[in-house]
Amino acid sequence: MKHYTIPVFIPELACPFQCIYCDQHKISGKGAVPGKEQVLQSIKEHLATIPKKKRKVELGFFGGNFTGLPLDEQEAFLSLAQPFMENGQINGIRLSTRPDYINDEVLEMLARYGVATIELGAQSMDDEVLKLSARGHTVSDVISASRHIKNKGFRLGLQMMLGLPGDTLQKARHTAQSIADLGAHETRIYPTLVIKGTQLEIMYREGAYEPLSLEEAIQWTKEVLKIFEASGVKVLRTGLHPSDGLLDGQDLIAGPFHQSFKELVLTEIWYEQLKRLIHSNARKIHIFVPPKELNWAIGYEAKNKKYLLEHFEYVVFQTDASLSGRKFHADYY
């Protein structure tokens, strides 16, 4: 069974605060809120490209504060999915929203329309970081909303950001562990970028904010990823989706953006493990890894293989279907 999400972006819709880092139009690459016909057309176009068998399809409302909309507007969006759910083409709905816009009335309405997953933009579980980022909510809001969502039977997603003003690696680890402790089913990890036209750009140009370097962002992400994996929290995304404005640099002022950011992080995790192999005096090495991990083990632009070739004359990676996770073994010659 393969999972597919049909994304509908509603940039900054109903957001009561302008967080210092945020411009959803530029981050998502979507400039305007879609109308009814646009949403329906997008659903149909996506469904036409998705295989008919062995699939689970969700409609996702992203980019704004969905539950901050008036109830009738929420219902208008959600009702668009109902015919597709009734005929089995769509299996559920997910949405992203703010933790301070969750209450029982909203949750009961969302359940009636088949919403299965609610993602909250927690961003940090440190009140100082939230205040400096002008989030407009507190850690206690995240805790309260998460418990309400779980108690009502929804899947819970909690998104986090790395490198916001006032953030540290220790605080990032605390945020990741808190997300796991709250029972989140899934998360997204976003290193903070300085986007054109945001308050963070002003702070950056005035010298009041310095984003993480790419290497720092990789190291921080590696650490929080380990916490999520150990706790069984599914990581849906690592790094921002590469919209055109980010790829061409038009909207990106500064920060650790890389279109293969996830691969860089997974390469670093494997590097930590594989560097232990260089203590052998052998000339050749044959490394066996799980099939799904082959690309990350070899590394982005073959970084890990190149590193090993500095110590061995001959390096071969091969898959072993009996291995799982990041287990591996090596033969020396």
Q: What confidence score (pLDDT) does residue 279 get?
A: 84
* Integer Cα distance of 134 and 175 in angstroms: 17
> Which whole number is the average pLDDT over 175-199?
96
For 208, counting Cβ atoms within 10 Å of its Cβ (0-12 exposed, 13-18 middle, 19+ buried), the class is exposed
pLDDT in tens, 120-162: 999 999 999 999 999 999 999 999 999 999 999 999 999 999 9
CA distance 170 to 33: 38
Averaged confidence pLDDT in the chain:
92
95-110 b/e with 16+ CB inside 10 Å = b?
bbbbbbbbeeebbeeb
pLDDT, average across residues 153-182: 98
Residue 213 DSSP code:
P
Tokens of 299: 């590394």
Reference 12, options 59, 65, 61, 60; nearest CA is 65
Q: Where in the chain is the domain with CATH 3.20.20.70?
A: 2-259
Entry field: residues in the chain: 333
Query: What pLDDT is recorded for position 99?
Result: 95
Q: What is the amino acid identity at position 152?
A: K
* Segment 54-113, tens digit of pLDDT: 999 999 999 778 998 889 999 999 999 999 999 999 999 999 999 999 999 999 999 999
Query: Residue 244: is its pLDDT beyond 90?
Result: no
Residue of 137, 114, 2, 125 whose CA lies nearest to 57: 2
How far apart are alpha carbons 162 and 193 in whole angstroms? 9
Q: CA–CA distance from 87 to each of 6, 81, 91, 98, 116 (Å)?
A: 16, 10, 9, 31, 17
CATH class of residue range 2-259:
alpha beta
Of all residues in the chain, the percent with pLDDT exceeding 70 is 92
Asked if 79 and 71 count as a contact pair (C-beta separation under 8 A), the reply is: no
Helix (H) or strand (E) holding 119: strand 115-123
pLDDT in tens, 266-323: 999 999 999 999 988 899 999 999 999 999 999 999 999 999 999 999 999 999 999 9
